[in-house]
């Protein structure tokens, strides 16, 4: 999929600074460029060294450690060549996926269960970790719906 994205260096504690604001900026660019949004927003996580995550990792990172976050919107349309650095292709990937409903503070428990399943089944991660925000409800976080994807080899 083709995505318009922005990259940030951040910590778990700072993620709230980007919820709603970073993606709002991406939507403004999409409207200005007359592109079509063709899917939910994605957040891709990379370890503190900028490498894709591997087995034993997994959001949340250690409190206070900085990592790279890419926030992306899938788009379609004519992309101006002068803006190509803000677009990229995300390849399809095999993954373990879990749908989580509720406030984001409960997601670490889901990651732990997913990592336990990967270890118990002898699966190997490919380094791709993403969260797809299917429904966001800031006034009532219990209504949030998030799909967690951990890429597998």
Encode the chain (153 residues) as per-residue pLDDT tens digits: 999 999 988 887 888 787 778 889 999 999 999 999 999 999 998 764 555 555 555 454 555 678 888 999 999 988 877 776 789 989 888 999 999 999 988 998 998 899 899 999 999 888 788 999 999 999 999 999 999 999 898
Residue 57's CATH number: 3.20.80.10
Residues pairing with 49 in the sheet: none
54 vs 76: CA distance, rounded Å = 30
pLDDT at 16: 78
Domain count, the chain: 1
pLDDT at 52: 53
Q: Is the link from the previous residue into 128 a cis peptide, with omega within 30 of 0?
A: no
pLDDT at 128: 80
123 vs 81: CA distance, rounded Å = 40
Torsion of CA 93, 96, 99, 103, to 10 degrees: -100
Neighbours of 3 (CB within 10 A): 21
Strands (E), the chain: 2-10, 36-37, 41-46, 67-76, 87-89, 95-101, 125-135, 145-152
pLDDT at 8: 87
pLDDT at 60: 43
Torsion of CA 9, 127, 108, 118, to 10 degrees: -170
**What is the domain extent for residue 87?**
2-152
DSSP symbol at 33: T
């Amino acid at each position: 999929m083709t995505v318009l994205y922005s990259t940030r260096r951040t910590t778990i504690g700072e993620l709230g600074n980007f919820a709603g604001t970073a993606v709002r900026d991406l939507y403004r660019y999409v409207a200005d460029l007359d592109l079509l949004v063709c899917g939910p927003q994605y957040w891709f996580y990379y370890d503190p060294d900028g490498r894709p995550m591997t087995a034993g990792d997994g959001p949340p990172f250690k409190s206070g450690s900085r990592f790279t976050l890419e926030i992306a919107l899938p788009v379609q349309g004519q992309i101006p060549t002068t803006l190509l650095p803000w677009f990229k292709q995300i390849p399809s990937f095999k993954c373990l996926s879990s749908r989580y409903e509720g406030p984001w503070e409960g997601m670490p428990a889901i990651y732990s269960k997913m990592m336990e399943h990967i270890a118990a089944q002898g699966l190997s991660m490919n380094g791709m970790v993403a969260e797809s925000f299917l429904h966001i409800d800031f006034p009532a976080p219990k209504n949030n719906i998030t799909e967690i994807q951990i890429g597998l080899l």
